[in-house]
Structure 1
Amino acid sequence: MNWFYLVLCFIGGIGLSFQASVNSELGRKIGTIEVSCLAYTVGAIILFIMACFFGKGNMLEALNFPKWKLFVGIFGALFIYIIILSVPKIGIASAIIAGIVGQMFLSMIIDHYGLFGNIQTPINVSRILGLALMFLSTYLFYTK
């Protein structure tokens, strides 16, 4: 197992929780959709600059990609909006863990079938148990 990438994802998760907190506060001041747009715009600008200076790929290859797949970015934008909308109602921990459980649920299915060119990792008892425990943790985080 490559621990470096697990730690990197853990750090990314810390960043998402920080972002959820700040965006929620800002959303109460300027509006939920407005802060979602702002967050995505700032992120897009930063990624554009990074691609210009550090990118090693070829953006023109996107023209050869099935056009419907280019619209999946909408899910990231919707996730930001949903988190901003939810955090003031259920708290950061509940919102983040519910989002992670949703990601894990679909990720297991994608892995199981090897969809979208991903490696095939069959669903097994330990993965089902792990997901069940995550559902339980969502319940425990949410109940007061």
Structure 2
Amino acid sequence: MAQWPLMLAALVTGALVPLQLVFYGQLGGATRNAFTASLIVFLVGAVVLLVLVAVMRPQLPSFGELVAAPRTVWLGGLIATCYIVAIVIITPRLGVGLTTGLILVGQLCMALALDHFGAFGNPQHTLGLGRAAGLALMIAGVITIKSF
């Protein structure tokens, strides 16, 4: 399979993140509480996923398969919760552009570290000069956004 459709899908998904920041910030303002706003986000997402699973009828894992999964798979929900609560609090104070830039730099730092060490069974990609330069340019971009 060609990679360009996946790259396009990743680009479009990334373009949705600033919208997510705006909407979460608005919800936080309407609820006046980051935790309540985050709970609403998760409830809406759960309802959408319940409908999709009911319509698509994928094969669900057994209880044994879930128990046998690496314990780290359960951290995604915790991370998502922290992410949403932080966005509800941070975006109205820093703005969408700076918040998005900082999130992207944080994601890239972690992604490069995970790649470099081949963490959690992922393929190993050494952090070379080119990748480090890409990260440095991202950091410079965030500093520029903050400065103006």
TM-score (norm 1): 0.89
**1:91 is the counterpart of 2:95:** yes
Question: Relative to structure 2, which stretch is displaced further, 112-121 or 94-103?
Answer: 112-121
Q: Measured at CA, do residues 55 and 138 of structure 1 come closer, stay the same or move farther in structure 2, by a change above 3 Å?
A: farther
Q: Tell me: CA distance 1:115–1:58, structure 2 relative to 1, closer, same or farther (3 Å).
A: farther
Tell me which amino acid in the other structure corresponds to 1:3: W
Return the match for 1:42 from 41, 44, 58: 44
**Equivalent residue for 1:134, pick from 126, 135, 138:** 138
In structure 2, relative to structure 1, the CA distance for the partners of 1:68 and 1:38 (3 Å cut) is same
Calculate the TM-score normalised by the size of structure 2: 0.87
Describe the SS at the equivalent of 1:120.
coil
Instruction: Report the equivalent of 1:107.
Output: 111
Alignment partners' CA distance in 2, 1:142 and 1:36: 27
The letter for the 1-side match of 2:144 is L
Alignment of 1:20-59 (within 5 A): 20-30=21-31, 31-54=33-56, 56=58, 58-59=60-61
Unaligned stretches of 5+ in structure 2? none
- Structure 1 stretches of 4+ with a deviation exceeding 4 A read none
CA distance in 1, matches of 2:39, 2:118: 33
Q: What is the deviation of 1:55?
A: 5.9
Q: In the aligned structure 2, how far is the partner of 1:13 from the partner of 1:22?
A: 15
Structure 2 counterpart of 1:11: 12
Identity of aligned residues (%): 23
Deviation of residue 68 (structure 1)? 4.5
SS at match of 1:59: coil
